[in-house]
Amino acid sequence: MSSYRITPFRRWVDRIMAALGRRGVAPGGVSALTVAGRRSGEPRTVPVTPVEVGGRRYLVAPYGPVEWVRNLRAAGEATLQRGAQAERIRVTELDADAAAPVLKHYVQRIAIVRPHVAAAPDADVSEFAAIASHHPVFLVAAAR
């Protein structure tokens, strides 16, 4: 597993992908997640790729507990937008056992994250459970 570093180039790419997600034209279902900064309260927008497993939606943090994860943990809710469809969401962070099959599905589906996850796409779900604490997974529900 390689460590993830946010570089100026990566920030630039993230801004573009989030903008494309807001417009609904980003590839692979990329959406824009906007969450309040935990210190500033200012909205922070990042690209994310929600996945559906068993009829439920999830957000996966393949690069670990990065800033958007910390902000989402603090806020508990955010806005998820793809094209004209923007929705307020609430999230619940999953424990390792519940997160493992979602993380496995995510790694199977999103090839670009594989170098950052220490389990191969075809690994047993127990291997994903062992590393799940390094890759937070959130269950997504509509905010009320």
Domain ranges of the chain: 8-142
pLDDT tens, position by position, 69-113: 999 999 999 999 999 999 999 999 999 999 999 999 999 999 889
- What is the Cα–Cα distance from 50 to 20, expressed in whole angstroms? 15
pTM: 0.90
Lowest mean pLDDT among 9-18, 58-67, 68-77: 9-18
- Domain 8-142: CATH superfamily, name plus number: Electron Transport, Fmn-binding Protein; Chain A (2.30.110.10)
